[in-house]
Amino acid sequence: MTERITRHRLQVASNLCQFIDTQVLPGTGVTPAKFWKGFDAIVADLAPKNIALLAERDRLQSELDAWHTANPGPIAAGDHGQPNDMAHYRAFLEKIGYLVPVPDKVRISTSKVDAELAKQAGPQLVVPILNARYALNAANARWGSLYDALYGTDVIDEAKGCQKVGKKGGYNPKRGAKVIEYARYVLDRCVPLKKGSHIDSVAYSIKGGKLAVKLADGSNTSLEDNDQLVGYQGEAKTPSSVLFVHHGLHLDLIINRATAIGASDPAGVSDLVVEAALSTILDLEDSVAAVDADDKVLAYSNWLGILQGTLTEEVAKGDKTITRGLNPDRLYTAPDGKKPVRLHGRSLMFVRNVGHLMTNPAILYTDKAGEVREIPEGIMDAVVTTTIAMHDLAKTKKDAIRNSRKGSVYIVKPKMHGPAEVAFANELFGRVEKLLGLPESTVKLGIMDEERRTSVNLKACIAAAASRVAFINTGFLDRTGDEMHSAMLAGPMVRKADMKASTWIHAYERNNVLVGLQCGLRGKAQIGKGMWAMPDLMKAMLEQKIAHPKAGANTAWVPSPTGATLHALHYHQVLVSDVQKDIEKTHAKRDAQSEHDALLTGLLHIPVAPAPTWSEAEKQQELDNNAQGILGYVVRWVDQGVGCSKVPDIHNIGLMEDRATLRISSQHMANWLHHGVVTAAQVKETFERMAAVVDAQNAGDPLYQPMAGHFDTSMAYQAACDLVFKGLTQPSGYTEPLLHGWRLKVKAAG
């Protein structure tokens, strides 16, 4: 039984109440009396609005279900005079309020946005906030060793004696030589010399405020553009590092002949450190399993530790234990030798709150009818995470470990369905600001463009929070899940592997950038793209993910600090601000209404298979893939409380899985089951067979609890089955209600 403390109409879990009173509020200038009175008022006023928004989701889904039942199959792209052609479909969506009028000339007015979001273009990390080590690693991933990233991944081929481990064990100098050559070519592309190549350098120094480079042939040269020289460390004649800038990102050439690599390098270069993860999202949502007050207090504590600069974690390194904390800022001497140069040492932190759907038993409240309810978790997150951020806002010393230097709080709000829900988030954060005495629009909003009703009304969504928008970001995974659930009754969906080739996805990715630029995000906010989900396949990432900056996105998600270091190279190859300007110029010459109509037609295309003629083998392959992925993720979530992890797929390729990927797999199986593509018996047999596969893949985990042979007692297995067999009735196809319910049962059982 949870111990609770009464604060007005709120019944607060005692550990959460004590955490807020004794750790969060001191130093903010907000007294507990004021805080709890204001918190209570926010819940009383806004919880009913939250509930009404969820009821509107249900109403619209009922309308969609009825329409698709009467008009099954794909939507005809043109106006063919049929009930399910695009003209009729759009008219129906407008009639029920799914599509809203497009507002004219929307321009964001967001101010006080840090350069990492407004000016620079670079990678973004997303990490579960419950894991302090991951949070610290992500914060410190602002700067990454290119040598380490290249040496430790498949970017450098292991053929011809270039294995990661040398013949005698340890470092392989042949592989190291490939790494060094690669890094020198990066320097040649980004900070070219007037003559010659960095490959031939034998010495670097600073002379008269300029870079002096001695080459192997005895000649001397300097930078083609000396404005790229930002500073140095050590003595000008023999610097220990030389700092450059290119496309707004920094590269730090480390010179240290005392190291093994530096000693063998003609110029003494021991590494090339690149500015990598400019921003990070610490996640309270899809990548965590936070179901009660204990979980929420841990999550909030880590956010507090990050913003106070006090979070540490003990990390084992061989037979030693080290204490990892937040990196300090990086200090250099300007090229003229007269003034210091300070660069931010850490990634700029967002916190992702939960969406509008879930409630949490950490706080109970009494509604106007006298019923005791769980608090809407998004309201709780908004109040607590913003209050915690006041510790960062209060810092004034230049040498303090700060997050925002502009005085802003950055919060990502996921899974919002349309402009009314964005307007509600805007109202919620406005109420929190008043409670805490913060200036209006201190809280900056990241809008996840990951639900269908948001995509088709994106401009109106941005308009609903025009003074707060700090980023918009496509979320292909949740967007796919919502695509399937919204049109669940239209017919059997195409196979998952074919989904990325669907008409709607191309329109979706294009529309996000165009609308963002139309609304003035260039130079003021981020336009982001989604995750590279295969952390072990970095060579493929380097080959493919350059498409994101080329599309005009000034950030994209990566699965690790190493991924951030490598993805940063793409922003040296592509100057995103120029791409955005070119898109704006091209778009300005086109008929805006015609282009909007064309993109909307694409966005509304439903990925129903026009002729579902898959073979029995193809159907089983799809079932196997989905069931294995569901079980592999759910067993860790429910049994161990692990919300995001690298889960081996059916081919033993590690994939970063979270609730968004789970939503796709479970909705896809539910869809095929509903339309008779597969039978309930097939699904059950597949789950039982794949349980044994997942058990074998986790055989090395001492905490793992096998599912095969324990189908009636394994709560994880039962949760996985529920996600499919109860998939049609889950709100918007979300997995959270079922996952949370089963996780709470596991915790209650001890």
Active-site residues, by number, are 352, 658
Measured CA to CA, the distance from residue 487 to residue 329 in angstroms comes to: 50
Q: The dihedral of CA 224, 230, 236, 239: what is its sign?
A: negative
User: Are the beta carbons of 286 and 357 closer than 8 angstroms?
Assistant: no
3-state secondary structure of 401: coil
Q: At CB < 8 A and 24+ separation, what contacts does 417-420 make? A: 417/53, 417/57, 417/451, 417/453, 417/454, 417/732, 418/98, 418/100, 418/451, 418/453, 418/454, 418/457, 418/460, 418/461, 419/100, 419/457, 419/460, 419/461, 419/463, 419/464, 420/53, 420/56, 420/464
Q: The dihedral of CA 638, 641, 643, 645: what is its sign?
A: negative
Measured CA to CA, the distance from residue 116 to residue 636 in angstroms comes to: 34
CB atoms within 10 A of CB 321: 9
Measured CA to CA, the distance from residue 449 to residue 476 in angstroms comes to: 9
User: Are the beta carbons of 719 and 739 closer than 8 angstroms?
Assistant: yes
3-state secondary structure of 731: helix
Phi/psi for 157 (5° steps) reads -65, 145
- Across the beta sheet with 4-7, the strand order is 4-7, 10-13, 359-366, 372-376
User: Are the beta carbons of 382 and 428 closer than 8 angstroms?
Assistant: yes
> Which helix (DSSP H) or strand (DSSP E) does residue 142 occupy?
none
Measured CA to CA, the distance from residue 622 to residue 612 in angstroms comes to: 13
531: which residues sit within 8 A by CB, 6+ positions away?
126, 477, 557, 558, 559, 656
Tokens linked to 38: 């204001």
Q: What angle do CA 144, 145, 147 make, to 5 degrees?
A: 150
3-state secondary structure of 343: strand
Query: DSSP per residue over 639-683, as a string?
Result: HH---SEEEE-TTS-EEEE-HHHHHHHHHHHHHHHHTTSS-HHHH
603: which residues sit within 8 A by CB, 6+ positions away?
452, 455, 456, 504, 507, 508, 511
What single-letter amino acid sits at 168? K
Measured CA to CA, the distance from residue 70 to residue 91 in angstroms comes to: 15
